[in-house]
Each structure stands twice: as C-alpha cells, then as structure tokens.
Structure 1
Amino acid sequence: MLNIALCDDTNVELARVERFTLEYPFTKVEVDTFGSGQKLLQYVAKNKTEYNIYLLDIEMADMDGISLAKKVREFDNKAVIIFVTNYDEYMPDVFKVQTFDYILKPVNKETLFEVLQRADHYLHSSHSYFEFSYERNKLIINEDEIMYFEKSGRAAHIYTETKEYKCNQTTSQILAQLDPMAFTQIHASYIINLKYVVGIKCENIMMKRIVNGEIQDTYLELPISRKYKKDFKQKMINYMRKRF
C-alpha cells in the first residue's frame, strides 16, 4: 500500500491531483491532502503519521515545497519526495533534498501513474540502489536499470535503459556501491551489469542494445581487457547459476 501526502495551496489543483492519485490502478493508495506545509508538518507531528510518498507543490506561499522537503528530511530519509511545479527551472534545486522525481503542471494522469509506478517499485523492491551526486544534485537510481558505466576523465557516464547520467566518482568508489554479483569491471573505462550481457566475441562483450525501452536486434559491443577476462567469465558463470 502507498500512503501519500499531497500538499498544494491551490485547492483546485490539490483536488485534481488527489483524484488522479486515487485512481492509481496498481497498488492500494491512501491519500491525505494539505493546503500548506505547516499543516502537513503539524499533522505528522501530532499524529505520528508516516507517509512513504510526499507529492509537494513547489510554489506555495507560506512555505515553498523545497523548504518543506528539507523539513521532511529531518525526520524521514527514506520517503519518496516528488515535486509538482510549473517551471522546470527548479530542477537543479529539487535534487538537493534527495528527490525521486518532479512533474510539471498541469499534471496529467499518465505521467503521474508512471512516476508513482516507479516510486512503488522503488519502495517495495529488494534491489539495491546507486546514489551519486553531479553538479551538486543528489540522485538515486535502481541498480537493476543500469546497463553500464563508462569513465571519461574525472566523470563517469551512467547508461540506463532509458537515460544517461553523469557522476563524479572514481572507479573504485563506483564498484564499492555496486552488487559484486551483478556488476563487474571489464576495462579501465567500463563497468557492466551482467544482466545485460549477451555473450563475448573476441575482445568485446556483447550487450543488449535498448532504444526507447525496446530491445534491438543489434548488440552493443564494449571492449574487455585481457586482465579482466578471467574474472568476467567466472562472474558470468556465478551470475547464471544464481539466476537459474
């Protein structure tokens, strides 16, 4: 079940998002609505209520959504925070409070359902998550969705099924966070998720190629260095045994 707190000082928008949220079809949902950040915080403190998702409007008069999120983070580091905003100019700020995502107004049902479904999966999944910072933004993504990392100078590019991110971590820092049964280094520049491996061809690892969420007929080929080949083969065997 998802316990969701909605906070927006515009009654019409608050009612609209509440209606859409209650129509979420994949998991039972309970929703409490608040017309201000102060009311939300007072209610939580008085009733010792725990929410696993906070849907917060950014542009509120008494306390803006980002300030409210910072207050929430003082007593809850695990809840999913999703911002609703009229402007995408807030994006650099919202990720400073460990934000899951943000939705632009006017909120449409399909976008809301997609974000809630990812949040639902995040909250109830036993999978690990990769946390990183880039340009002072704090981000978190499901390890399962990461296809591979590519180091380029000081930065590392993170390729998922749908997006590309960057982080400022060393190879050793990246590996320290990842599940060693699922990820392995194959080259000075590459760390891969064994889930996406199709095979090995000469000096290259064949990876699934995914475009717009669809698996392609062609493969992505990443180089494997000789020093990593033996370890890769053993890890691949162990991974397949664990999987099947």
Structure 2
Amino acid sequence: MVKILICDDDQTFAQSMFKRILSLPAYSSKSMKLSCLTDIAEMSADTIAQYDILFLDIDLGKESGIDLARKMRKMNPEAVLIFVTNFSEYAPEGYEVDAFRYLAKSELEKKLPTYFEDALAMCRTRQRKVEILCEGESVPIPVQSLAWIESQGREQYLHLVGGCREQLITRLTMAQLEDLLVPHGFLRIHKSYLVNMAYLQSFQSTSAVLTIGQTLPVGARSYRDNKQKFVRWQAQQLW
C-alpha cells in the first residue's frame, strides 16, 4: 500500500488537490491510500514521516515546509517529496532535503498528472533492494536506507538509516560495491568512501556533509569530476 499525504494549511486548496488526485488514472484505491492534513498543529515530522509520497506546502506559517522536511528526512529518507508553492522560484534548500519536484499551485491542473506518475515511479525505485554478502549471509538492503560505505582494511562498513540495523560489514571490495551501487545513485567521493547522493547535503573540495549530520572526507583528485556527477544527479531529481 502506497501512502500519500497532502500537507497544506489552505483547506480549500488541499481539498481541491485531494479530489484531483482521486480522479487521476494513475491513482488506485486498491494499492494506494490518500490522506490530507490542513491543521498546522498536526503537521509534525513524526506524522508525515509515515508516508511514502508527500505533497508539502512550503509556506506553513511559523515553520516553513522546508524546515519540516529537514526533520522528516532524519526519520524517512525514502519518502518522495514534492513541494507545493505559490511561487515560481525554486528554493535552493530543496536540494538539502532531496525534493523530487516543485509544483506551483497555479499549474496544478497542468502538471499534477505527470508529477503524480513520476512520484509513483520514483517510489517504486526507492523501494528497490540490493543483495550484499555480509559476514557470510546474503542480505537484501533497501537502496535508500544505505547512506554511505566506509572502507577499513579488508572490510567495508555499510552505514544504514531507518532500519533495525545501523551497520553491516562486508568483505566485498570497494570496487565491487561501486559497480553494484553507482547505478542506484551512489558516488565514490574518496578511495575509502562511497556515498548515497540522496543523503548529500553539501559537497565541497575537502569534505561532504550528509543530511544525517555525518561529515566525510573528499578525494582531491576526483573532486571536480564527482562534483559534476552530483550536479547532474540533482538536476535529474527535479526534472
């Protein structure tokens, strides 16, 4: 069941969007559940983190939608986040919280059908798993829960978010892991570090900061090429 949430303090707009989504050909009541929140007091990070697809208003009064999204991301890095806005400009902070799309309220009728289909496709993608041999056991790992990998000698440490296990150890080489994970949005930022770009908050010449607060070193030789890869990946997430 795909859980979808509209989070907007404008009750009239939220109800209009709710009805439009229900009428979309891509929507299925058998496999999807659509909910709506219009009371700001109920819009906690704990609440919205329970959903797979979020349509989140940027302007929520005292707390912006971006601030709320930052808190939510710490609990649910896999949610497909679409910011809904009255403005035509894109907020740069959206990259920090892995915003999938920006939907202008004035273009709801025109763009909602495509954005909804794209969000469903991305939701399915983010639910993909990779099989990695860890300490003699083949472990299925949700791609989006794997934040980064750190090499320590012959062992590689897999750092996970949002699951029952925070760390796994494998003896696969970094080269093998890179081949496996690059198609899923991972970047080798250093000879000893492989990072899921969905968690990259900032990427500088000497260090990378993750959305979960971790700071990792960046290899100087590959920085320029990796920076270009990261920028291209960011653009693909918004379009």
TM-score scaled to structure 2, two decimals?
0.51
The alpha-carbon distance between structure 1 residues 76 and 6, as it changes in their structure 2 partners (threshold 3 A), is same
Question: Aligned-pair RMSD on alpha carbons?
Answer: 3.4
Counterpart pick for 2:34 among 9, 21, 31: 31
The alpha-carbon distance between structure 1 residues 43 and 77, as it changes in their structure 2 partners (threshold 3 A), is closer
Following the alignment from structure 1 to structure 2, what is the Cα–Cα distance between the partners of residues 39 and 72?
14
Query: Is the Cα contact below 8 Å between 2:53 and 2:123 reproduced in 1?
Result: no
Query: Is the Cα contact below 8 Å between 1:37 and 1:68 reproduced in 2?
Result: no
- Please name the residue that 2:44 is paired with: 41
Give the partner amino acid of 2:85.
T
Query: Is the Cα contact below 8 Å between 1:4 and 1:31 reproduced in 2?
Result: yes
Q: CA deviation at 1:66?
A: 0.6
- Please name the residue that 2:50 is paired with: 50
The alpha-carbon distance between structure 1 residues 124 and 61, as it changes in their structure 2 partners (threshold 3 A), is same
The alpha-carbon distance between structure 1 residues 107 and 7, as it changes in their structure 2 partners (threshold 3 A), is farther
Residues 77-156 of structure 1 aligned to structure 2 (within 5 Å): 77-125=77-125, 126=128, 128-130=183-185, 131=197, 154=225
- 2:232 aligned with 1:166: yes
* Greater C-alpha radius of gyration: 1
Following the alignment from structure 1 to structure 2, what is the Cα–Cα distance between the partners of residues 68 and 112?
22
Following the alignment from structure 1 to structure 2, what is the Cα–Cα distance between the partners of residues 52 and 42?
13
Give the partner amino acid of 1:99.
A
Following the alignment from structure 2 to structure 1, what is the Cα–Cα distance between the partners of residues 40 and 69?
9
The alpha-carbon distance between structure 1 residues 156 and 43, as it changes in their structure 2 partners (threshold 3 A), is closer
- The size of the alignment, in residue pairs, is 147
Query: Is the Cα contact below 8 Å between 2:45 and 2:68 reproduced in 1?
Result: no
Query: Is the Cα contact below 8 Å between 2:69 and 2:97 reproduced in 1?
Result: yes
Following the alignment from structure 1 to structure 2, what is the Cα–Cα distance between the partners of residues 156 and 11?
41
Q: CA deviation at 1:10?
A: 1.0
The alpha-carbon distance between structure 1 residues 118 and 42, as it changes in their structure 2 partners (threshold 3 A), is closer
User: Structure 1: any 5+ residue segments left out of the alignment?
Assistant: 139-150, 159-164, 169-244
Following the alignment from structure 2 to structure 1, what is the Cα–Cα distance between the partners of residues 27 and 13?
23
The alpha-carbon distance between structure 1 residues 167 and 110, as it changes in their structure 2 partners (threshold 3 A), is closer
- Please name the residue that 1:200 is paired with: none
Q: CA deviation at 1:8?
A: 0.9
Q: CA deviation at 1:23?
A: 1.7
The alpha-carbon distance between structure 1 residues 156 and 66, as it changes in their structure 2 partners (threshold 3 A), is closer
Following the alignment from structure 1 to structure 2, what is the Cα–Cα distance between the partners of residues 97 and 134?
8
Query: Is the Cα contact below 8 Å between 1:3 and 1:31 reproduced in 2?
Result: yes
Asked which structure has the greater RCO (Cα within 8 Å, sep 6+), the reply is 2
User: Structure 2: any 5+ residue segments left out of the alignment?
Assistant: 130-182, 186-196, 204-208, 210-221, 235-239
The alpha-carbon distance between structure 1 residues 105 and 3, as it changes in their structure 2 partners (threshold 3 A), is same
TM-score scaled to structure 1, two decimals?
0.50
SS in 1 for 2:54: strand
Query: Is the Cα contact below 8 Å between 1:2 and 1:27 reproduced in 2?
Result: no
The alpha-carbon distance between structure 1 residues 43 and 156, as it changes in their structure 2 partners (threshold 3 A), is closer
SS in 2 for 1:100: strand
Following the alignment from structure 1 to structure 2, what is the Cα–Cα distance between the partners of residues 167 and 156?
10
